[in-house]
Amino acid sequence: MPPMCVVCPRSPRRDRPLAEFTLVYFRETRTYPEDWVGHPENAVWFCDDHAHLVEGLTDLTADEALERIK
Ligand SMILES: [Zn+2]
């Protein structure tokens, strides 16, 4: 299963070449929702277009960082 950027729309965009992905690690937490099971607890995929959005936010939990991005 290919990585999915959490910021991009779910449907693939066909007007762009295949994006590179970066796995970003946030502050560890034990309070993740159930649907995060099976994924590294504090790690989230971002495409290269969006990886820069989390600069300076990796000391937050992933949930907190995503709240600020969206
Ligand atoms: Zn993206």
Domain ranges of the chain: 21-69
For 2-28, write each residue's pLDDT tens digit: 678 888 876 555 555 566 889 999 998
21 has which bridge partners? 47
Q: What is the mean pLDDT of the chain?
A: 80
Q: What b/e sequence results for 40-67 when a residue is b if at least 16 CB atoms lie within 10 Å of its CB, and e otherwise?
A: eebebbbbeebbebbeebeebbbbebbe
Cα of 47 from ligand 1 centre, angstroms: 4
Q: Tokens for 7, please give them.
A: 């910021």
pLDDT tens readout for residues 19-65:
688 999 999 876 656 666 665 668 898 998 899 999 999 999 998 99
Assessment of whether the complete model's pTM goes beyond 0.75: no
Of 53, 48, 20, which Cα lies nearest the Cα of 62?
53
Ligand 1 centroid vs 37 CA: distance in angstroms? 21
Q: What is the pLDDT of residue 8?
A: 87
**Distance (Å) from CA 51 to ligand 1 centroid:** 7
Residue reference for tokens 């590294």: 40
